Amino acid sequence: MKTISLAVFCALLFAGCRNSSIPEFEEQASQLEQRIRKAVCDKAGMQRQIDSVWAIAVTAMDQEVPKDLEPGTRANFLSLKAEHLIKMLPEYKPLTPETKQLITQAASLDSVVTLQFGVLLKEFNAWETEMKNFLQRVEAKAPELRIKYLNRLQMAQNEPCPVR
Output 132 or 101, whichever has higher pLDDT: 132
- Non-local CB neighbours of 85 within 8 Å, separated by 6+ positions: 103, 107
**How far apart, in whole angstroms, are the C-alpha atoms of residue 77 and residue 6?**
79
Query: Once rounded to an integer, what is the mean pLDDT over residues 140-151?
Result: 94
Tell which wins on pLDDT, 125 or 55: 125
pLDDT digits (tens, 9 = 90+) for 8-18: 444 544 554 44
What global pTM score does this model have?
0.69
Distance between CA atoms of residues 136 and 69, nearest Å: 59
Q: What is the CA radius of gyration of the chain?
A: 27
pLDDT band at 86; cut points 50, 70, 90: low
For 17-30, the pLDDT digits (tens) are 444 458 889 999 99
Alpha-carbon distance 51 to 46, whole Å?
A: 9
Give the contacts of 145 (CB within 8 A, at least 6 positions apart). Answer: 22, 25, 138
- Residue 49: what pLDDT? 86
Q: What percent of the chain has pLDDT over 70?
A: 80
Q: For residue 23, give the H/E element and its range.
A: helix 2-64
